[in-house]
Amino acid sequence: MKTTAIITIILISAVVCAAQPDMTKSVVMLQVVKQPFDYSTPWKQSSFSQGVGSGFLIEGNRILTNAHNISDNRYIIVKKENFAKKYPAVVEFVGHDCDLALLKILDETFFDGTQPVQLGDLPEVDKTVTTYGFPMGGTHISVTKGVVSRIQTDVYVHSGADAHLVIQTDAAINPGNSGGPVVFDGNVVGVAFQGLTQADNIGYMIPTTVIKHFLLDVNDGKYDGFGSLGINVFAALHNESYKDYLKLPPDTQGVVVTSVLLNSSAEKVLQRNDCITQIDNYDIDNDGMIMIYGQKYHLSEQVETKQIGETVNITFWRDGKQQTAQLVIQLNRPVFEVARLYDDPPPYVCFAGLTFVSANRNYLETWGRDWLSDIPHILRYLLNDSIHLNTDPLRKEYVVLSEILPRTSS
C-alpha cells in the first residue's frame, strides 16, 4: 500500500488577474523562532529553529494565522509588505485542535495604513479562489489562484487527531504560504494550511465555518476548543442482517454506536449498539452523512456548529424502540492523548533515578519517523485501545517509565 505524507504548507497555483481588494494592507509575513520540548528527556528542550509563515489582519487589530506557524515559539516578528520595520508579536489565543491562532501587536503604530479583511461563507465547488502569502522564493507577497475541487471532513495534520471541514484546491505546494488568506469575491473564505507531498496540485484550506467557531470561542477571553459527543460510531446499516439483529425497521438509516467514552456527556445516555438516526432534525444516512450547507457532510459537522456547553438533540433506536435525548457538547478528550501537544513543558517525575512521564502521542513520536511500528507492543496496544482499556473513571492519565538514570539507587 502506498502512503501519502501530509505537510502543513500550501500554495494555490496560477497568476491572478481578476480585481481583488488591496490585500497588501492586510497580509503580513511572520518570522518565528521555535524551540520545542524533548519528550524523551523532558527536562531539556530541542535546538532552536527559524521559520517563515503568513497571516492577515482581522477586526480588532488582531492577526489570524495557523497554530503550526507559532507553536513552541520563543519569538515572533511580524513584517508588513513594503515596510522594513519588524514588529514583535505575542500569541493571544491558539487552537491547536483547529490549527488557528490570533496574534497581538503591542506597538499600535503597526496598524497605520492597514486594513482588516472580511470573512465570507463556504465557496462552491469549481469556484476560483485567490491565495495571498509569503511562500519560499521571495520576500514580497505572492498572489496566486486555484479552483475549489472538494469540501469534506479530514484530519488536521498539526494535531494529527482532530478532524474538521477542509476545502481542497488544485494547488501547488510551497513553504511559507501557511496562514495566508484565501479570497473569493472580495471576502476571505479560508486559511491556507496543508497539502499533500506525493500528489500534484492538491492543497487544503481551513474554511470560515471553522474560523468563525474559533473566533466566537475566544470572545469570552479563553479558548475552550471544539467539542464532541464522546462516542464512536460505525456505518453498519448497509448490512440488512445486522439491521435485523438490532431490531430496526427495514427503512431505517443511521449509524451504530460502537463505544462511549468514559466520563463523556453521552455516558449516561447512549450505549453500544444504539442506532442514531437524527441529530438536530438532520436525518443521518447509512454513511453517517447529513445534508447541511446544501451538501452532504459527516454528522460531526452539526456538532462543530456548537460551542462547549451547548446541546444537540438526537433520535436513536434501542431494542426496537425509538427514543430521543439531549446531549451536551463537551471536550470529551480521551485519557490517552492522541493529539500532539505544544507550547507547555511535558510533566515528569524523577524518583530514585527513575523518570516517569505521561504516555501521549508526543512521547511515542520520540521513537522516530516510523514510531507507529517501532514503539513497544504494549504502547501500541494502549494507543489503539485506550478507550476500551480504561475502566477507572478517576484515571487522569497513563504514566510510563521512560528512562533509568545511572544512580546507585536505580
pLDDT of amino acid 361: 95
249-272 residues labelled b (16+ CB within 10 A) or e (exposed): eeeebbbbbeebbbbbbbeebbee
Show which residues are catalytic. Answer: 68, 99, 178
- 128 neighbors 14 (Cβ within 8 angstroms): no
Topology (CATH) of 231-328: Pdz3 Domain (2.30.42)
Task: Tally the C-alpha atoms within 13 A of residue 308's C-alpha that lie toward its C-beta.
Answer: 16
Distance from C-alpha of 110 to C-alpha of 274, rounded to nearest angstrom: 56
Distances, alpha carbon 306 to alpha carbons 210, 227, 331, in Å: 11, 8, 12
**Cell numbers describing residue 360:** 501521549
pLDDT score at 241:
94
Instruction: Give the cell for residue 258.
Output: 460502537
The reported pLDDT for the residue numbered 344 is 95
Q: Which amino acid is at 47?
A: S
3-state secondary structure of 354: strand
How far, rounded to the nearest angstrom, does the alpha carbon of residue 360 sit from its chain's CA centroid? 17
Residue 264 DSSP one-character state: S
304 membership: H or E segment, kind and range: helix 300-304
| Ramachandran class of 408: left when φ > 0, alpha when ψ lies in -120 to 50, beta otherwise | alpha
Distance CA 11, CA 172 (A): 5
Domain boundaries, the chain: 6-221, 231-328, 348-404
pTM: 0.91
Cell of 292: 447541511
Q: According to the model, what pLDDT value does residue 9 have?
A: 44
Summarised one tens digit per residue, pLDDT across range 165-199 is 999 998 655 778 999 999 999 999 999 998 877 77
Between the alpha carbon of residue 16 and those of residues 113, 133, 145, the distances in Å are 24, 13, 6
Looking at CATH, the fold of the domain delimited by 6-221 is given as Thrombin, subunit H (2.40.10)
Give helix then strand counts, H and E, for the chain: 7, 26
Return the pLDDT at 406: 84
CB-based burial, 38-60: b 16+ in 10 Å, e otherwise: bbbbbeeeeeeeebbbbbbbbee
CA distance 183 to 190: 7
Using 70 as the pLDDT threshold, list the residues of the chain that sit under it: 1-20, 171-173, 408-410
pLDDT of residue 201: 74
